[in-house]
Amino acid sequence: MQLDRRKQALLQTIVATYVERAEPVGSHYLALQESLGVRSATIRNELAEMTDLGYLRQPHTSAGRVPSDLGYRYYVDHLMTWERLSPSGARAIRGVQKISAGDLEQLLIQTCRVLSSLTRYTSVAAPPASAEPVIGQVYLVQVAPQRLLAVVVLKNGQVIHRFCEVTRGLTPAEVTRLSNTLDEHLRDLAGSQVAQTSIRVAEQPAHEEILKALVAAIGRGVADEDDDLYVEGASHMLEQPEFREVDRVEPLVRFLEERKTAYEAMQQLIHQQNLTVSIGQENPHQALREVSLVAARYAAGQEMFGWVGVLGPTRMRYEEAVQAVQYAAKTLSETLTRLSSE
């Protein structure tokens, strides 16, 4: 439903005031706002009507109003101003490119940390994914005589590390041969093909059991990495008045700790949208019903996409969150494009 100009002005003022003060907004306060130019009695009537329409809530009978999820949705869709990120915020996000040194995991972690610092909300990010991850390179590092570290570089830029214990000590020359054999057989394979790969080594049959164990470890690593999720600044939720009660914040913290569940729930919300603003009860997962998610997709090549975003209370500074998240996604796309061409 389209609100008339007076109701829009009231909703905009109520959202801005409630976001700032975290307290219900009363008609007396609104009547003092010269920019509205509306009498107190008229404001009371308008607030009652907007409450009946579902755009506002009244926490207590004698209290003022607060925006409902529907009110926030109307604000985001029709009233929010779209501005550029501040120069200092842009510099902070762009600075991540220098310290990441091309490591996708560090790039996402540091981007999340900067986003969380800028917005004071919890930040989340998912690495780029295509239909299925594809192996670009495999090599082994010997960390002990009977312990190897398999390093797998996926073509989307992710790096997977998996340890593997072997039954006997290996010489450096043997480790090199095993590393070359793995890379030769696994390079360019899709994730689902790894577990089905059997490597025969006629000249070194003793290595076959070691290679079998390494292939199994790498296969599990690729499968786990496909739905990874990076989370930074979860403690910022505790700074919000809405979540000072432990029983309100605990479900969200538990949800974020279950990375696979959290990834799948947010992936479903984002789907193929370039920008997602999902508010409160719009979220299908129970743990997200009292928060809003602002997320944007970034590109890594022509067919692979990841996303980055922030989670905060529905009483969110949506303009700032959208500005920061969109700029972070844009910077990630530019960085990954540049790295892929080097």
> Which pLDDT tens digit goes with each residue over 147-206?
888 898 887 667 888 888 888 888 888 889 888 988 888 888 877 788 777 777 656 667
**Angle between helix 207-225 and helix 172-186 axes, rounded to 10 deg:** 50
CA distance 53 to 269: 26
CA distance 188 to 186: 6
Instruction: Note the pLDDT of residue 250.
Output: 84
CA distance 106 to 98: 11
Rg over CA atoms, the chain: 26
Question: Which residues have C-beta within 8 Å of that of residue 214, sequence separation ≥ 6?
Answer: 140, 148, 150, 164, 178, 182
Instruction: Note the pLDDT of residue 314.
Output: 95
Q: Where in the chain is the domain with CATH 3.30.450.40?
A: 87-131+227-341
Q: Where in the chain is the domain with CATH 1.10.10.10?
A: 5-79
Question: Which residues have C-beta within 8 Å of that of residue 258, sequence separation ≥ 6?
Answer: none
CA distance 121 to 313: 8
Instruction: Note the pLDDT of residue 24.
Output: 93
Q: CATH fold of 87-131+227-341, please?
A: Beta-Lactamase (3.30.450)
Q: Where in the chain is the domain with CATH 3.30.390.60?
A: 135-225
Question: Which residues have C-beta within 8 Å of that of residue 220, sequence separation ≥ 6?
Answer: 162
CA distance 316 to 296: 16
Low-confidence stretches of the chain (pLDDT < 70) are 99-102, 130-132, 156-157, 201-205, 224-227, 340-342
Domain 5-79 matching CATH 1.10.10.10: the answer reads yes
Q: Nearest Cα to 279, choosing from 37, 67, 136? A: 67
Pick the CATH number of 135-225 from 3.30.565.10, 1.10.287.3610, 2.40.10.220, 3.30.390.60: 3.30.390.60
CA distance 328 to 333: 9
The pTM score is 0.73
Instruction: Note the pLDDT of residue 99.
Output: 63
Lookup: tokens for 85? 């990120």
